[in-house]
Amino acid sequence: MEFLQSLIFIILPSFFSTLHLLKLIFRPKENCCYMLNYECYKATDDRKSDTESMVRVVLRNKNYGWEQYRFLFRTMINSGIGGDSYVPKIVMDRKEENPTLSDSLEEIDDLFFQTLDNLFSKSKVSPQEIDILVVNVSLLSPVPSLTARIINRYKMRPDLKVYNLSGMGCSASLIAIDIVKDMFKVYKRKFAIVVSTESLGANWYCGNDNSMMLSNCLFRSGGCSMLFTNNPDFKNRAILKLSHMVRTHLGSNDEAYECCIQVEDDKGYLGFRLTKKLPKAAAKALTMNFEVLLPKILPIWEFVRYFLVYMWRGEKKGTMGLNLKSGVEHFCIHPGGRAVIDGVGKSLALTDHDVEPARMTLHRFGNTSAGGLWYVLGYMEAKQRLKKGDRILMISLGAGFKCNNCVWEVLRDLKDPNVWEDCIEKYPVKIIENPYNEKYGWINEEYVSFIRVEDCVFAS
């Protein structure tokens, strides 16, 4: 009898421990971050940046002389942006020098509510079911907050967890998703919304500092709203699953901190300064980020191969870099500009096919700041490149200076044409022709240097 009792005391704890362990192993993982849907913004055709519209915007600035005209048109010609991207309504309405708060809020509301209405409709999830809301707009922070405007519009629940991000720059979208990921570790079976965009119209630079005029040439209206969940019951409806996220911040480095910064010029005009130190800061941030991320996503044999090749060839004779395609199939690069895309593509030894989505996004929509990555993803989906099991590496760079990268797993074949529906058939364009070169390329000729701008009459 004593032996039987002893046996029971030994077996029962072992049985329940084993049962608990099996439950932990086989229970659905509720700390996963699934993306159910995303919806990119598309403005009306009357806001397209066709040649004549953009020239009128440039010519009405009385602070410009020949040197500024030459710089702007040269930048436009080499930007990689076509004539179908969207200019802020404030600029098209000729209000860029004296925008009001109402103008800024109207611009933001248009994007917020168009993308959210479509997102709720497509996902069959009501606003009252949302548990977490994260909004990132770097250059606009009113009171009440932008998140409060969304809550008021959709009459969302009072227990909603709310985060309003500002000043995060072009990489803010992944920062917002990282917050959602961390929240999902605490709150189970929840829905989260991320809204990512920028307030451009009220921050249009009206001075004549070349380093600050660049932003007017590159940035265009755009943004995205996204729906996430950690509820395993919705896994079959999800399109992507977040696998890894790594964030790198070089704010402690003075050059990196100042290479992409909002300042006033010597005449008091507020704008965004992009310096020549930016490529160096971006390269350093990307390298440091990859030192953490790549061991998580590349197979061990790829590091062994790299080490053997390095030892064989030696540092002086050059080395073969890590093959990122051993760990991911697609590359979603922030469409910050032609130099950014080409620089990242070259450093990672990517093919034209790999960087095509970013280049074509830049051409069609321009640099839409934090929302840009999702237009790139939309291009891949519209081209039906994304198949179940594929992995996508998202690379984002932004002010601070920051590099935030993540990897997504595709959960089913994706083929929604989304915002690319009316134009995807004509992409990729083989030669990216710039609409400004043919009509206004003459302005860079030396023979016009002696002409006074005030004596000229341009077509309007």
- The per-residue pLDDT for 138 is 95
pLDDT at residue 263 greater than cutoff 80? yes
Asked whether the predicted pLDDT for residue 227 surpasses 80, the reply is yes
* Active-site pick, 136, 230, 332, 363: 363
* Residues of the chain above pLDDT 90, percent: 71
The count of other CB atoms within 10 Å of the CB of residue 241 is 16
**CB count, 10 Å around CB of 118?**
17
For residue 167, pLDDT over 50 is answered with yes
Question: What secondary structure does DSSP assign to 52-83, as a single string?
Answer: HHHHHHHHT-TT--HHHHHHHHHHHHHS---S
Active-site option among 217, 230, 231, 334:
334
Residue 438, pLDDT score: 57
Give me the DSSP letters along 394-408: EEEEETTTEEEEEEE
- In the predicted model, is pLDDT for residue 189 greater than 70? yes
Model confidence over 229-261: pLDDT tens digits? 999 999 999 999 999 999 999 999 999 999 999
Spatial distance between the Cα atoms of 52 and 254, rounded to a whole number of angstroms:
40
pLDDT digits (tens, 9 = 90+) for 135-161: 999 999 999 999 999 999 999 999 999
> Which residue of the set 32, 170, 259, 332 is catalytic?
170
Q: Tell me: pLDDT of 305 over 70.
A: yes
What's the pLDDT score for residue 30? 54
**Catalytic residue (one of 217, 330, 404, 406):** 330
User: What is the pLDDT at residue 318?
Assistant: 36
Q: Active-site residue 330, yes or no? A: yes
Highest mean pLDDT among 52-56, 280-284, 316-320, 382-386: 382-386
Least confident of 276-280, 294-298, 434-438: 434-438
Mean pLDDT, the chain, integer: 87
pLDDT at 447: 42
404, with CB counted inside 10 A (0-12, 13-18, 19+), is buried
Give the pLDDT band of residue 73 (cuts 50, 70, 90): confident
Strands (E), 64-219: 132-137, 161-165, 191-197
Instruction: Give the whole-angstrom CA distance, residue 139 versus residue 47.
Output: 21
Q: Is the pLDDT of residue 8 over 90?
A: no
The whole-model pTM stands at: 0.88
Under the banding of pLDDT at 50, 70 and 90, the label for residue 67 is confident
Task: Give the per-residue pLDDT at 455.
Answer: 45
20 annotated active-site: no
Q: Write down the pLDDT at residue 59.
A: 84
244 is catalytic: no
Residue 89 pLDDT greater than 80, yes or no:
yes
Of 225, 200, 213, 234, which is closest to residue 367 (Cα–Cα)?
Answer: 200
Closest residue by Cα to residue 248 from 406, 134, 32: 406
Side-by-side strand order, sheet with 161-165: 161-165, 132-137, 191-197, 223-229, 34-40, 240-249, 402-410, 391-398, 330-333
**How many Å apart are CA 360 and CA 110, to the nearest integer?**
25
Q: Is the per-residue pLDDT at 48 higher than 80? A: yes
In angstroms, the CA 257 to CA 400 distance is 5
Task: Check if 353 is active-site.
Answer: no
- Does the pLDDT of residue 449 top 70, yes or no? no
Residue whose C-alpha is closest to residue 401's, from 309, 304, 288: 288
Smallest CA-to-CA distance from 402 within 224, 177, 246, 222 is with 246
Relative to beta strand 402-410, strand 240-249 is: antiparallel
Query: What is the arithmetic mean of pLDDT over 298-327?
Result: 77
pLDDT band for position 433 (cuts 50, 70, 90): low
79: number of CA atoms within 13 Å, CB side? 31
pLDDT (0 to 100) of residue 314: 62
Predicted local distance difference test score (pLDDT) of residue 402? 96
Q: For residue 242, what are its two tokens? A: 């977040």
pLDDT, residue 72, reads 85
The amino acid sitting at 260 is: C
CA–CA dist 39, 100 (Å, integer):
28
The residues near 76 (Cβ < 8 Å, ≥ 6 apart) are 54, 217, 434, 436
- More confidently predicted of 254 and 76: 254
Q: Which helix (H) or strand (E) holds 270?
A: strand 270-274
367, 404, 405, 418: the active-site residue = 367
Do residues 409 and 389 touch, judged by C-beta distance below 8 A? Answer: yes
Which amino acid is it at 329? E
Residue 137 DSSP SS3: strand
* Catalytic site includes residue 170: yes
Residue of 40, 61, 249, 434 with catalytic role: 249
Q: Please tell me the predicted confidence (pLDDT) of residue 15.
A: 52
Angle of CA points 256, 257, 258, to nearest 5°: 95
pLDDT confidence of residue 456 = 46
| Band of residue 79 on the pLDDT scale cut at 50, 70, 90 | confident
Q: Which of 224, 178, 172, 154 is nearest to 418 (CA)?
A: 224
Structure tokens at 322: 């890590």
Q: Which one, of 272, 273, 270, lies nearest residue 97 by Cα?
A: 270
Strand blocks (E) in 283-377: 330-333
Query: Does residue 32 have an active-site annotation?
Result: no
pLDDT at 68 over 90: no
Positive/negative CA dihedral, 174, 425, 340, 335:
negative
